[in-house]
Structure 1
Amino acid sequence: MAKKINFFVEIRGPYLNHSKLGVALFLVMAMTTGCLFDKPKNSTSTVVPQPDGAPPPVIPPPPPDPLPEVKIQCERLSLSENSLALVTDIPASLNCILNLSKAAPSDMTFAISVAGTATEGSDYQTLSHTVQIAKGLTQASLTITGIDDPVYEPTETIILTILPDTAANPTYTVNLILNTVTLSILDDDLLFVDAYLNYSEYSLDEGNPAHQITWTIEFYDGNTGEPVSLPFDLKLTASPIYNRIDIAGRLSANLQNIVVPKNSATFDITVGIINDLLPQPIQSDDIKLTPDNTVVLSPYSYLNAYLTLYDDELPALTLVASATSSVENGGVTTFKAVINAPLSVDLTIPLTYSGTATRGADYRGSSGGDVIDSLTIPAGSKESASTNIVLIGDGYYEGSEYLTVSPATNPTLYSLGSPSSLSISINDDVYITPDVRSIELTATTQSTPPSITLNWSTEGPGATFKVYRKLITDSVFPNTPIASLAVGTSGYTDTSVSSSVKYEYQVIRASGIAYGYIAAGIDLPPVHDRGGVLLLVENTVSTALASEINQLIQDFIDDGWSVTQKNVASSDTVTSVKSLINQTVSDSGNTINSLVILGHVPVPYSGSLAPDGHSDHVGAWPADGYYGDLDNQNKWTDTSVNKASASRSQNRNIPGDGKFDQSILPLNQQLQVGRIDLSNLPAFAPLTEVDLLRRYLSKNHNYRKKLVSVPTRALFDDNWGGYGGGDFFATSMWRTISTIVGKNNIVANDNAATSDWFTQLRTNNYLFAYGGGGGSYNTVSGIGNTNDFAAGPSKAVFTALFGSYFGDWDSSDNVLRAPLAADGLGLTCVWSGRPEWYFHHMAIGETIGFSTRASENNSTTYPVNMSGHSVHMALMGDPTLVAFVVEPPSNLTAQVNAGLLSLDWTASNDVNVGGYYVYHAANSAGPYSLLNASAISTSHYEAPALSGTHYYRVRAAKWENTPSGGFNNLSSAINIQVVQ
């Protein structure tokens, strides 16, 4: 009997009711076990006979027909809002198909459930929630259509699920083998965002290859302003707004393909610079980031970054010339621009021309044209084409001028090499003439009708002339000229003048480099009374030179001065000396206008200055102007200057040391001050100070009495020329001395075989002499030194010297005082150059003291060069001296007969003496009264005899013809005492 096994198969899974699978499994089990299942009860299975008498197997009945299967399938799994497909090419609708595995035996209706994040009716059209497959058909379709709205939304979902409606199909059931599908609905709107590019660094430097900068992009909702994360990858492209930066070639970041990942609210871009090892100009530009078309930027977005790229290989630019010095009148300098590495672009270099030379007048370009204003170095080249500067010969001396050609600075394109500019010295082909900075004026006068005619040379650069006039006592010229004259004019006649008035004229060549000054007047009367002079004598000198001083006092009186003598000690303070001066002037009723210092009277020091330009000479300088200022003491302070670095201890100035603070005279000088101080001159040994003063007073007396013949001429030994390209120290000498001696009576190095100081002045007499050159305290380069003055005569009466250091005259063997100590004629000396001094007033009879005071008070009246109105200005010598001396009469006798006084004298031997004036005084020192209003032509005078002791004097009068026109001049007096 066969073994009976009960075999159960449990089949799980979605195919539970699938009969074919069950049959297959049954057969497999039967074959593998060799067993047959017992026939179930009520079974209709057929029993198959078995061999060997075994019972036949039970064969199950065939399974029923399988249930129809239904599934949903869609043509795509996504759709867009709008069929225009602005963002994607996915259409805005799609069809989903319900597939039945076999023909529907009848109409079959299926329910559709809808879920997901998309909203039906807002994001897609309302659906029919049932689908019917008609009888005999195997499928039906369902269409889903997106709805376009204007608001961007992230991707949303639609979930469709098929539910069988068994109520509608009671006879049939279906297997839902794929009854759910999830669809994506894509927004067709561009993302509206605010995008901001933030950065804190603006530049990249090739020389710092590790240097990088970071740009940060931040995204915000364009409607709400809230931070937003991008729902997609965003592509950005960078571009330079002005195309000044090669982004791909010079920046290390790939700025032409920037991808901001999806879900980013911020994004960093790291930017570096590529060191290309080639010279590049400094480049600056605005870099603009442009997004692709998936976003719309709000008006508030800012995606620009300003960036500057610095190259560590900027080319160095220099100007290269064929010559840096050339002579005018055809001299040519060729130059070009050169860089040490080529650029990839044309390089244009603007040029500027500066210096003392005048464009178009002193230099020009080639072929008579103007110089060029720029040079261009072509791309790929290292140099420009060459260009020429041609120097023009103007026929006038202008000194050593210079021209500087400078390339414009442009740090974005190049650096300036060394030298950074081109300097060309222009050597004048004409030597110095008086017309360099001066106009030598002469004047003639006419009584009826009254007029003054000025004349000058037309030498010098052609230009118009302006003429100004003032009274000689006025401090400044008016701003408005009395005449403006055309080019080539050589004179002017002024008819708006009166007789007996002293005028002063200024003529300016309109180019502004030439000035002329002259004093003139019509029928200028003689000066009978010069005013008062204070003779301030150092005690030891007063005793040792009593006789000579008495002679000096008498000489003052004979020239019309009232004299007051005061003695002081060299150990007195300068403040006590000043108090004495002020009191004496006040006691005179302020008639004293001149101060003569004789001997080593205490020397005031003041200021913090070095007009000679030497740093070791900055400090206090001798300041006799302190004595010439009659104002109260409080204008001169000793509280602020603290300068103790000068090499000479006397120049060191600290608060409270007795040296004043002022470098500029606080007020104008009231007194005409001159100093005759011949102390501390060991070069003149064995002569002592007293010996030197005695010699000086003798020279003074001889000059006043015209016991020495002095031709009206001047010597100029100028070794400066145009110092520093235009600092002409001698110009005021040319302007003013020519009005005294005449232009043709100046011996200078442009019109004489030699104008050497001692070559001329050892044997020849001169009224004026100027010498200039580099100096020390006792040396004038090109002139000589104090030893030279001690070794022999210096035969010039009025002298001016200029050079370094010795303007500080209170020093041992100082050369500024040497002409006074020397044998010969030297009676005055000034340090003229910084500032310039003016003496043209002397041409109409004024004293050198008058010109001294005018020069010291000058700040705007005449050109000063520099250091005008400064405390260091001082006259070495007697300020009461005049330029024109008349030989006095002689042998004055007096006789009284029958109550009548008869005075007789021997006539003056001077030329052009037109008469004599007779004076009377009750005291030998004066004051003297004029007895004849008009000069008498004879050598005899009668007046009533007066009882007692009386004093009479006679002075010769002559019309003094000078280059300034002339004036009525008086001789020194001859005197006689009459006792009756």
Structure 2
Amino acid sequence: MEVFMNFENVSFTFMRHSISLVCSMFCFLVGRVHVSAFEASDSVVFLNADVEAYPPKITLNWHSTAVNPVGYTISRKLRDEGEWLSSITLFGMATSWSDENIVLGTAYEYKVEGVFEGGQHAFGYLLSGVEVGAVENRGGIILLVEDAHASVLSSELKRLQEDLIGDGWFVIRHDVSGTSSVSEIKKLIHAEYIRDSANLKAVFLFGRIPVPYSGKFPPDGHSPSHAGAWPADVFYGDMEGDWTDSKVNETRGIDPRNHNIPGDGKFDNLFIPGTVALQVGRVDFANMSSLGESEAGLLKHYLDKNHVWRHKESAPLEEAFVIDGFESSKEAFSGSGWRNFGSLLGLSRITAGNLSSGASEVGSEECLFGFISGLGTWSTLPGITLEDWNGGRFQAVFTLLFGSYFGDWDSENNLLRGVLTSPKGGLAACFAGRPQLFLHHMGLGESIGASIITSQNNVGVYMPMGFGANGTHIALLGDPTLRMRVVAPPKYLSARMGKKENILLTWTASEDDVVGYHIYRSESPRGPFVRRNDRLVTATSFEDEGSYSQWYQVRAVTLLTGNSGSYYDLSQAVCAPVLKAKKEVQKDTKTVLFRTSEDVNGVVSRVRSR
């Protein structure tokens, strides 16, 4: 059985990837060494933060399963800085450090690197802050919909657009043919990016949007059987790189999809040639026939789950599971699980499972995160099949998988895409381990798409990178805008004209413990919405100057405190137009009903007794 590829004839000329390649090859080779005492979690420094507002202070606490520490180095930078700008080293058994040189409301990123006897290193990362401000406007997202599904899923797609707008995005939708070329799709995306590069942030591919392919050497190590081009959706997010199709000539793979020859429309690039500018996520159920459900049915189910999640109509456990079939590998594939889940939830909330026991003890209840690794095929892991997700066996909202073959996610009845068919959970899935992914930014309210783009652009800021760092195969299956925590939105918004030509807004309170509400107004339900209140509204009513042609949003605001720190977050918006009230007298009762002239949110605007 092929497991590891031969690098003897591989040469790379790009200096920007030299560090990545050396580190990746080293990790790749030492992964062959079996050391019984080593476990993947030993490569992780588990971090959490205790925060104080007055005076502002962040205290980092850490724990490592590796033994005999020599010392720990703590480094800090701002979120978008490309290098660690300050550091301090603590020797011996230190397990905490306080940072008082911070500003209230600012996010800081921390790295803690542990060094242990024998030269072993472990890493942990955390994005932290104290009362970091809410993100009201998230930027633009291009929603590309396969035109074959636009009509049959029209109401669900309309609801998705409303949800995205209600989450602070402005939506640019294009319905495109599944037979378009990848160059035509890229041209469309690039034109929108040039039009508003400062604000465009993401691309959501929905349905069978043409799949770019790129590369030669398989990240899962199965060469020559899996050599050639792999799916490369990151092509749609790179606005500046030089993607070539003139050098690679590789036809040894057993699946013709992977064959890559000059001029065939598949790209040469193994590494991403530019800096990725746009988050890209895909929901695509083409060629998933073994599940016995239509493609449109699977797409509809995903959109229904997405809506339920955004409106907090489901309540997954704030827990994670790690099922590691390569536990003793020095590559520590499951470090992507342990490191991220530890930072996001805490070590005590992670349950470890075992493939040899069928993993029956974990994943049966919906939870936030899951990681599974093992020797795979395109459709299976040991003891796990595509139908296990479709049947609800594993129900993590955000799932990371590592193993052979299925990271090439465009194959028929693919296991990684199958994660998204889960009846609960299954909103996002990634191939993780080659390389390591870094999702810790989600702990302070960022989207999974933002973390994936950081992982795609990683050429040494985050360690260990793992084989395949900065590779064109790194991808997100699922909605890129999703975040790990949601706030219950207010409901039943009524916007009606008052006696003094003002607008009276009333709504039902959020079911969460919120600090107040923000009110937004627009001339169109598509936005842009502009906030109308200067201070948080703590009541469930608001009065504004306006007219009949306007639309209003109300969003709940809460202060969330978690494993990473504290930040303000916003709920989905409840939205309603300003409508005239008309009087309806029910003769058989003593009640006068004032209904809006349009049934907004399906409720009576006001009931008043005589």
TM-score of the aligned structures, taking structure 1 as reference length: 0.54
C-alpha separation between the residues in 1 aligned to 2:256 and 2:145? 26
For 2:608, the equivalent position in structure 1 comes to: none
Structure 2 counterpart of 1:656, which letter?
G
- 1:621 is aligned, of 205, 230, 234, to 230
2:240–2:275 CA contact under 8 A, matched in 1: no
For 1:502, the equivalent position in structure 2 comes to: 107
- What's the Cα RMSD here? 2.0
Q: 1:548 to 1:482 in 2, by over 3 A?
A: same
For 1:974, the equivalent position in structure 2 comes to: 574
For 1:638, the equivalent position in structure 2 comes to: 245
1:532–1:562 CA contact under 8 A, matched in 2: yes
C-alpha separation between the residues in 2 aligned to 1:715 and 1:592? 34
C-alpha separation between the residues in 1 aligned to 2:53 and 2:391? 50
2:31–2:331 CA contact under 8 A, matched in 1: no
- 1:471 is aligned, of 78, 84, 89, to 78
Q: 1:563 to 1:426 in 2, by over 3 A?
A: closer
Superposed, which structure 2 residues align to 1:311-350 within 5 Å? Answer: none
For 1:851, the equivalent position in structure 2 comes to: 451
1:524 has 2:132 as partner? yes
For 1:666, the equivalent position in structure 2 comes to: 273
C-alpha separation between the residues in 2 aligned to 1:831 and 1:706? 27
C-alpha separation between the residues in 2 aligned to 1:648 and 1:401? 26
For 2:599, the equivalent position in structure 1 comes to: none
1:732–1:838 CA contact under 8 A, matched in 2: yes
Superposed, which structure 2 residues align to 1:508-657 within 5 Å? Answer: 508-511=113-116, 512-588=120-196, 590-615=198-223, 616-631=225-240, 635-657=242-264
1:644–1:654 CA contact under 8 A, matched in 2: yes
1:797 has 2:397 as partner? yes
C-alpha separation between the residues in 2 aligned to 1:871 and 1:617? 15
C-alpha separation between the residues in 2 aligned to 1:646 and 1:859? 28
1:488 has 2:93 as partner? yes
Q: 1:677 to 1:758 in 2, by over 3 A?
A: farther
For 1:720, the equivalent position in structure 2 comes to: 326
- 1:729 is aligned, of 309, 312, 333, to 333
- 2:44 is aligned, of 421, 424, 438, to 438
- 1:907 is aligned, of 490, 509, 521, to 509
Larger RCO (CA within 8 A; separation ≥ 6): 2
Structure 2 counterpart of 1:894, which letter?
A
Task: Write out per-residue CA displacement over residues 451-496 of structure 1, whole angstroms, 9 at most, x where no aligned residue.
Answer: 2111112643222110011111122324xx4211121111111122
1:836 has 2:460 as partner? no
Cα deviation, residue 754, structure 1: 10
For 1:761, the equivalent position in structure 2 comes to: 363
Look up the SS of the partner of 2:43 in the other structure.
coil
Cα deviation, residue 948, structure 1: 3.4
Structure 2 counterpart of 1:748, which letter?
A
C-alpha separation between the residues in 1 aligned to 2:340 and 2:550? 43
Look up the SS of the partner of 2:285 in the other structure.
coil
Superposed, which structure 2 residues align to 1:106-185 within 5 Å? Answer: none
Task: Write out per-residue CA displacement over residues 598-623 of structure 1, whole angstroms, 9 at most, x where no aligned residue.
Answer: 00111011111111111111111110
Cα deviation, residue 674, structure 1: 0.3
Look up the SS of the partner of 1:585 in the other structure.
helix
Look up the SS of the partner of 1:935 in the other structure.
coil
Structure 1 counterpart of 2:234, which letter?
G
- 2:410 is aligned, of 800, 810, 815, to 810
C-alpha separation between the residues in 2 aligned to 1:746 and 1:740? 10
For 2:61, the equivalent position in structure 1 comes to: 455
2:39–2:332 CA contact under 8 A, matched in 1: no
For 1:167, the equivalent position in structure 2 comes to: none
2:519–2:554 CA contact under 8 A, matched in 1: yes
Q: 1:693 to 1:788 in 2, by over 3 A?
A: same
2:321–2:353 CA contact under 8 A, matched in 1: no
1:747–1:755 CA contact under 8 A, matched in 2: no
Look up the SS of the partner of 1:717 in the other structure.
strand
Task: Write out per-residue CA displacement over residues 651-701 of structure 1, whole angstroms, 9 at most, x where no aligned residue.
Answer: 11111111111110001110000000111101211x111000000000000
C-alpha separation between the residues in 2 aligned to 1:555 and 1:472? 27
C-alpha separation between the residues in 2 aligned to 1:541 and 1:721? 42
Cα deviation, residue 432, structure 1: 4.1
The answer for unaligned runs of 5 or more in structure 1 is 1-398, 403-424
Task: Write out per-residue CA displacement over residues 435-459 of structure 1, whole angstroms, 9 at most, x where no aligned residue.
Answer: x100110012222222211111264
C-alpha separation between the residues in 2 aligned to 1:929 and 1:538? 31
Structure 2 counterpart of 1:901, which letter?
I
Q: 1:467 to 1:714 in 2, by over 3 A?
A: same
C-alpha separation between the residues in 1 aligned to 2:553 and 2:75? 41
1:717–1:756 CA contact under 8 A, matched in 2: no
Task: Write out per-residue CA displacement over residues 492-540 of structure 1, whole angstroms, 9 at most, x where no aligned residue.
Answer: 1112221222111000002352100000112201111110110011110
- 2:560 is aligned, of 960, 965, 973, to 960
1:641–1:661 CA contact under 8 A, matched in 2: yes
1:458–1:489 CA contact under 8 A, matched in 2: no
2:167–2:571 CA contact under 8 A, matched in 1: yes
C-alpha separation between the residues in 1 aligned to 2:395 and 2:413? 19
Structure 1 counterpart of 2:235, which letter?
Y
2:520–2:529 CA contact under 8 A, matched in 1: yes
Superposed, which structure 2 residues align to 1:115-264 within 5 Å? Answer: none
TM-score of the aligned structures, taking structure 2 as reference length: 0.86
Look up the SS of the partner of 2:261 in the other structure.
coil
2:324–2:372 CA contact under 8 A, matched in 1: yes
The answer for unaligned runs of 5 or more in structure 2 is 1-29, 581-610
For 1:703, the equivalent position in structure 2 comes to: 309
Q: 1:471 to 1:927 in 2, by over 3 A?
A: same
1:401–1:426 CA contact under 8 A, matched in 2: no
Task: Write out per-residue CA displacement over residues 524-577 of structure 1, whole angstroms, 9 at most, x where no aligned residue.
Answer: 011111101100111102222111111110110111110010121111111111
Q: 1:603 to 1:521 in 2, by over 3 A?
A: same
C-alpha separation between the residues in 2 aligned to 1:474 and 1:589? 19
Superposed, which structure 2 residues align to 1:887-906 within 5 Å? Answer: 887-897=488-498, 898-906=500-508
1:458–1:488 CA contact under 8 A, matched in 2: no
Cα deviation, residue 590, structure 1: 4.1
Q: 1:854 to 1:401 in 2, by over 3 A?
A: closer
Q: 1:442 to 1:929 in 2, by over 3 A?
A: same
C-alpha separation between the residues in 2 aligned to 1:804 and 1:677? 21
Look up the SS of the partner of 1:861 in the other structure.
coil
Look up the SS of the partner of 1:427 in the other structure.
coil
For 1:860, the equivalent position in structure 2 comes to: 460
For 1:881, the equivalent position in structure 2 comes to: 482
1:595–1:672 CA contact under 8 A, matched in 2: yes
Task: Write out per-residue CA displacement over residues 372-408 of structure 1, whole angstroms, 9 at most, x where no aligned residue.
Answer: xxxxxxxxxxxxxxxxxxxxxxxxxxx9997xxxxxx
1:716–1:755 CA contact under 8 A, matched in 2: no
Look up the SS of the partner of 1:552 in the other structure.
helix
Structure 1 counterpart of 2:353, which letter?
N
C-alpha separation between the residues in 1 aligned to 2:359 and 2:179? 37
Look up the SS of the partner of 1:826 in the other structure.
coil
C-alpha separation between the residues in 1 aligned to 2:103 and 2:534? 20
Structure 1 counterpart of 2:535, which letter?
S
Cα deviation, residue 792, structure 1: 3.6
Cα deviation, residue 926, structure 1: 0.6
C-alpha separation between the residues in 2 aligned to 1:495 and 1:460? 29
Aligned-pair identity (%): 36
Q: 1:426 to 1:959 in 2, by over 3 A?
A: closer
Q: 1:770 to 1:858 in 2, by over 3 A?
A: same
Higher share in helix: 2
